[in-house]
Structure 1
Amino acid sequence: MLKEFKEFAFKGNMVDLAVGVIIGAAFGKVVTSIVNDLVMPLIGLILGKVRFNDLFISLNGESYINLDAAIQAKAPTLNYGQFISNFLDFLIISFVIFLVIRQLSKFRKKSESNEKESESKDPVTKECPHCLSEIPIKATRCKFCTSELETSNQKSASS
């Protein structure tokens, strides 16, 4: 059972997935910081010195100075400012993932077309009819069994 677990845990795909999750989590934190610490304050400044994290609607009908005061009073609130910040996080992360996947698709298409091109090229080896070894296509004698081989010129002349 331990051996099976090692094979599972250390397979290439599993390690790649773990690295991807760790990098994704770190990337998410960076984007959240960019949105909360750079983008939202600039938008708030443009809209008249508004702090987006303090934008809320009190659902009990009372008025509070800020979100912290409403939370301390245990008032039900609709925190649309935090929602806007989280939505911007989502949009930025989604756009970056889109760009990465788009680029990966281009790389895959290029590699697939390169594989097709290499498959469609003329063969460079042939099989010896006597010993069935693989030999160069232009060979006139097999390097393994030393048998003389028929060349394409001899085949066309005998036909």
Structure 2
Amino acid sequence: MGMVSEFKEFIARGNVIDLAVGVVIGAAFGKIVTALVDGIVMPAVGHLTGGVDVSDWKYVLSPASVDAAGAEIAEVAIRYGAFIQTLVDFVLIAFVIFLFIKGYNRLKKSAEAEAEAAAPAEPSEDVLLLREIRDSLKRG
């Protein structure tokens, strides 16, 4: 089997297409959650903390200054506010994905239970063995 035909078979399986759709939807969902965090959650947190934008929170190690030649020296700061904002994005995305998967598993479990109830139960190994013995006695 050639490389091209193997690749066609791989793509045609459907799992790759499902994965691609999941990635595209996940990226769009990430943008929605980022917009929620940037536009609603963090401004509310900023309001509670005195009107400061959370992404601007930082710890300044050395402030901006001017050297003897008049050149400006930039400040050195640890910008932890952007990290906190990204962390909130992640937690919200993870929580919503958790809820989605929990709902999906519940639907899948109920569908499996319905299918199990609809299908007749197969006989146990003991019953199959007894039937086999019965059939061999009838022949014999």
TM-score range, shorter chain: 0.7 to 0.9
* TM-score normalized with structure 2 length: 0.72
* 1:33 aligns with one of 7, 32, 35: 35
Give the % identical residues: 42
Alignment map for 1:28-107 (pairs within 5 Å): 28-59=30-61, 61-62=62-63, 73=74, 75-107=75-107
Q: Which has the higher contact order (CA 8 A, sep 6+)?
A: 2
How many angstroms does 1:119 deviate by?
1.8
Moved more, 75-84 or 43-52: 75-84
Matched, 1:112 2:119: no
Is the 2:64–2:76 Cα contact (8 Å) retained in structure 1? no
Moved more, 37-46 or 11-20: 37-46
Q: What letter matches 2:5 in structure 1?
A: K
Q: CA separation of 1:76/1:62 partners in 2, compared to 1, >3 Å: closer, same or farther?
A: closer
Aligned pair count reads 113
Query: What is the distance in 2 between the residues matched to 1:25 and 1:2?
Result: 29
Does the residue aligned with 2:52 lie in a helix, a strand or coil?
coil
Does the residue aligned with 1:48 lie in a helix, a strand or coil?
coil
Alignment map for 1:111-150 (pairs within 5 Å): 111-120=111-120
Is the radius of gyration larger for structure 1 or structure 2? 1
Query: What is the distance in 2 between the residues matched to 1:5 and 1:120?
Result: 40
Off by >6 Å, runs of 4+ in structure 1:
none
Q: What letter matches 1:115 in structure 2?
A: A
Match of 2:130 in 1: none
Query: What is the distance in 2 between the residues matched to 1:30 and 1:10?
Result: 31
Match of 1:18 in 2: 20
Q: What letter matches 1:42 in structure 2?
A: A
Calculate the aligned-residue CA RMSD, in Å.
Answer: 2.1
Q: CA separation of 1:116/1:25 partners in 2, compared to 1, >3 Å: closer, same or farther?
A: same
Moved more, 40-49 or 97-106: 40-49
Q: What letter matches 1:55 in structure 2?
A: W
